[in-house]
């Protein structure tokens, strides 16, 4: 069975500091990985997905199959990045069927 682990429930950084949100997964096949974000009083929304190799709002994530990790990084955190972040894994024929991690609350202090 697939599993996603986000070891940090809370992460605090100061504005302008680098930030890394950790995500590890276990899955025997080839996973597709995503980061979802939920800002205060907003809906859960897709931030980025590994296959796109995109940078969204300055965030990037690299899939490391050797370490089974998909950490989310940003070189200079902003206060508006404060939110709940979920790492998620998908398999099978529907990429909307996701296994989510427990989430990390990121707080960026001024």
Partner 1 sequence: DTGVSQNPRHKITKRGQNVTFRCDPISEHNRLYWYRQTLGQGPEFLTYFQNEAQLEKSRLLSDRFSAERPKGSFSTLEIQRTEQGDSAMYLCASSLGETGLNEKLFFGSGTQLSVL
Contacts with partner 1 by CB under 8 A lie at: 4, 9, 32, 43-46, 49, 51-52, 86, 88, 94-103
* Min CB(37)–partner 1 separation in Å: 11
* Two tokens, residue 3: 């599993």
* Min CB(3)–partner 1 separation in Å: 11
One DSSP character per residue, 21-62 reads: E--EEE-SS--EEEEEEE-TTS--EEEEEGGGT--BTTBEE-
Kindly report the number of other CB atoms within 10 A of residue 95's CB atom: 12
Residue number with CB closer to partner 1 (92 or 110) = 92
Residue number with CB closer to partner 1 (20 or 32) = 32
Residue number with CB closer to partner 1 (15 or 38) = 38
* Two tokens, residue 14: 């100061």
């Amino acid at each position: 069975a697939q599993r996603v682990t986000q070891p940090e429930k809370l992460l605090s950084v100061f504005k302008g500091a680098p930030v890394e949100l950790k995500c590890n997964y276990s899955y025997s096949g080839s996973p597709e990985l995503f980061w979802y974000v939920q800002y205060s009083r907003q809906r859960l929304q897709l931030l980025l997905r590994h296959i796109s190799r995109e940078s969204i709002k300055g965030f990037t994530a690299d899939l490391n199959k050797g370490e089974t990790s998909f950490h989310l990084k940003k070189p200079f955190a902003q206060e508006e990045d404060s939110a709940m972040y979920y790492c998620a894994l998908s398999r099978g024929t529907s990429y909307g069927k996701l296994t989510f991690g427990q989430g990390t609350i990121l707080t960026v202090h001024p």
